[in-house]
């Protein structure tokens, strides 16, 4: 499992300062995220969300601020853009036009996101024969190319 965690300060309903911990990870071949909230002032502890799917902006922003972005780039020639188009449409639910734009970005500067998102895409693209690699901060406890995008 590959993942990242970030902590942010948050105001609790009791008026105290609380901590929100957000996570994004690949589990059982799916991209998951969760969010937990805890306040030491009133002893509130909540699981705000846990499940598969794309993370909301506040989760992604916290992870990117804490760990920096990862960039997924082509690592070799691609005889046809079709496999990459299929993967990007499946993973992002993008229109064909948007998927074409994403393939263009992949072949130029690369796609940017959280490390779990880029590793999730990398595994799928490689499975379809698209040679890609990730540039970016290493995920603690994970080897480069570990299994598992917005």
pLDDT tens by residue, 32-72: 999 999 999 999 999 989 999 889 999 999 999 999 999 99
Residues 6 or more apart whose Cβ sits within 8 Å of residue 95: 89
Phi, psi of 76, deg, nearest 5: 180, 180
Residue 36 inside a domain? The answer is yes
Residue 74 inside a domain? The answer is yes
The residue-averaged pLDDT of 114-141 equals 85
Among residues 67, 88, 104, the one where a domain terminates is: 67
Residue 148 inside a domain? The answer is no
The residue-averaged pLDDT of 18-32 equals 93
Residue 141 inside a domain? The answer is no
**20 & 50 share domain:** yes
For the chain, what percent of residues have pLDDT higher than 90?
Answer: 77
Measured between alpha carbons, how far is 54 from 136 in angstroms, rounded to an integer?
20
**53 & 76 share domain:** no
Measured between alpha carbons, how far is 141 from 102 in angstroms, rounded to an integer?
29
Residue 146 inside a domain? The answer is no
Residue-level pLDDT at 69: 95
Among residues 67, 84, 114, the one where a domain terminates is: 67
pTM of the model as a whole: 0.82
Residue 80 inside a domain? The answer is yes
Among residues 67, 90, 115, the one where a domain terminates is: 67
What is the layout of strands, in order, in the sheet containing 17-27? 3-11, 17-27, 30-39, 44-52
Residue-level pLDDT at 137: 56
Residue 73 has pLDDT above 80, yes or no: yes
Residue 143 inside a domain? The answer is no
**Residue 92 structural domain:** 70-135
CATH number at residue 75: 3.30.1390.10
Residue 149 inside a domain? The answer is no
**CA angle, residues 38, 137, 75, in degrees to nearest 5:** 135
**74 & 126 share domain:** yes
């Amino acid at each position: 499992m590959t993942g990242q965690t970030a902590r942010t300060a948050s105001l609790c309903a009791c008026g105290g300062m609380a901590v929100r911990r957000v996570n994004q990870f690949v589990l059982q071949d799916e991209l998951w995220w969760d969010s937990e909230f805890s306040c030491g002032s009133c002893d509130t502890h909540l699981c705000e969300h846990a499940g598969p799917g794309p993370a909301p902006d506040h989760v992604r922003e916290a992870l990117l601020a804490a760990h920096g972005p990862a960039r997924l780039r082509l690592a070799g020639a691609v005889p046809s853009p079709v496999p990459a188009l299929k993967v990007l449409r499946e993973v992002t639910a993008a229109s064909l036009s948007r998927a074409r734009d994403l393939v263009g970005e992949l072949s130029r500067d690369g796609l940017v996101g959280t490390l779990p998102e880029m590793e999730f895409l990398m595994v799928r693209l490689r499975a379809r024969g698209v040679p890609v690699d990730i540039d970016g901060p290493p995920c603690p406890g994970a080897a480069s190319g570990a299994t598992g995008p917005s």
